[in-house]
């Protein structure tokens, strides 16, 4: 279990550092900024690379909503859920701390005013989208993320390609929803940067825990009930 938790911690660190780091450091870099497309690809690439690196150790969740969804989907025992989530949150916070130290090396940097890649709705949505829009998109996209994960990792799926499918799904999710909420679908990612933003991001953090967890549970239930062959569950 220790190695599993360490793998989840490192994997979530890489996801937050790579994904949020691309948003904070490179998205709007003068003249050569990578923009929404680059940030979306960065998040997807973090999952692909770490899923191949440590997925064989822990399953490569790197996300409390994924852990819950896999539990609901019958792939993860109940005893692993809380320890996995704790490890993921710690890994995310550690990554945000390192990113904060790096970003602070630039004159004029202020996490409070820049947002520090935090998730938000209403006036803090990149595109000014409402609370209702944020709720819907976080639930729907997290649910489909779990369906992709459960399908790609099913023992009847083509072997070896799951990390690619999952990483591409996360990139697509970001392409859709960065303008709406700056894309969460991951409470650990949202918590990590919100702690350093320190104001409105903490006030709105409840949504980016509750909605991804609901979406993850829905996705796990849909796959287990409607799509999964009977012999694919571990429970």
Tell whether 235 is covered by a domain. Answer: no
pLDDT in tens, 12-35: 999 999 999 999 999 877 677 889
Cβ atoms of 20 and 192 within 8 Å: the answer is yes
CATH number for the domain that contains residue 166: 1.20.1080.10
> Does residue 235 carry a pLDDT above 50?
no
Tell whether 233 is covered by a domain. Answer: no
- Model confidence band, residue 120 (pLDDT cutoffs 50, 70, 90): very high
Residue 220 to residue 202: CA distance in whole angstroms: 28
Tell whether 134 is covered by a domain. Answer: yes
Give the rounded percent of residues in the chain with a pLDDT score beyond 70: 97
- Count structural domains, the chain: 1
pLDDT in tens, 194-231: 999 999 999 999 999 999 999 999 999 999 999 987 76
The whole domain housing 116 covers: 1-227
Tell whether 232 is covered by a domain. Answer: no
Tell whether 54 is covered by a domain. Answer: yes
pLDDT in tens, 156-201: 888 889 999 999 999 999 999 999 999 999 999 999 999 999 999 9
pTM, two decimals, is 0.93
Q: How far lies 48's CA from each of 11, 13, 94, 150, in Å?
A: 10, 14, 20, 15
Residue 211 to residue 196: CA distance in whole angstroms: 22
Exposed, middle or buried: residue 206 (CB in 10 Å: 0-12, 13-18, 19+)?
exposed
The backbone torsions φ and ψ at residue 211, rounded to the nearest 5 degrees and listed phi first, read -70, -45
pLDDT in tens, 37-95: 999 999 999 999 999 999 999 999 999 999 999 999 999 999 999 999 999 999 999 99
Tell whether 234 is covered by a domain. Answer: no
Tell whether 170 is covered by a domain. Answer: yes
Residue 54 to residue 6: CA distance in whole angstroms: 9
Tell whether 32 is covered by a domain. Answer: yes
Provide the pLDDT for residue 62: 97
Cβ atoms of 13 and 192 within 8 Å: the answer is no
Provide the pLDDT for residue 31: 72
Provide the pLDDT for residue 231: 60
Provide the pLDDT for residue 29: 73
Give the rounded percent of residues in the chain with a pLDDT score beyond 90: 87
């Amino acid at each position: 279990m220790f190695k599993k938790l360490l793998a989840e911690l490192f994997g979530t660190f890489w996801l937050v550092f790579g994904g949020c780091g691309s948003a904070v450091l490179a998205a709007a870099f003068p003249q050569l900024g990578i923009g929404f497309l680059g940030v979306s690809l960065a998040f997807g690439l973090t999952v692909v690379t770490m899923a191949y690196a440590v997925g064989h150790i822990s399953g490569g969740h790197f996300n409390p909503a994924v852990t819950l969804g896999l539990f609901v989907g019958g792939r993860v025992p109940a005893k692993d859920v809380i320890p996995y989530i704790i490890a993921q949150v710690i890994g995310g916070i550690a990554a945000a701390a390192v990113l904060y130290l790096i970003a602070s090396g630039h004159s004029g940097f202020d996490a409070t005013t820049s947002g520090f890649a935090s998730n938000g709705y209403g006036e803090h949505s990149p595109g000014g989208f409402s609370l209702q829009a944020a709720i819907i998109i976080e639930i729907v996209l997290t649910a489909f993320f779990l369906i992709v994960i459960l399908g790609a990792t099913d023992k009847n799926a083509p072997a070896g390609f799951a990390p690619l499918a999952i990483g591409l799904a996360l990139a697509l999710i970001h392409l859709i929803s960065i303008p709406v909420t700056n894309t969460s679908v991951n409470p650990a990612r949202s918590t990590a940067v919100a702690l350093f933003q320190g104001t409105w991001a903490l006030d709105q953090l409840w949504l980016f825990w509750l909605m991804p967890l609901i979406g993850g549970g829905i996705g796990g239930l849909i796959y287990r009930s409607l799509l999964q062959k009977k012999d694919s569950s571990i429970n």
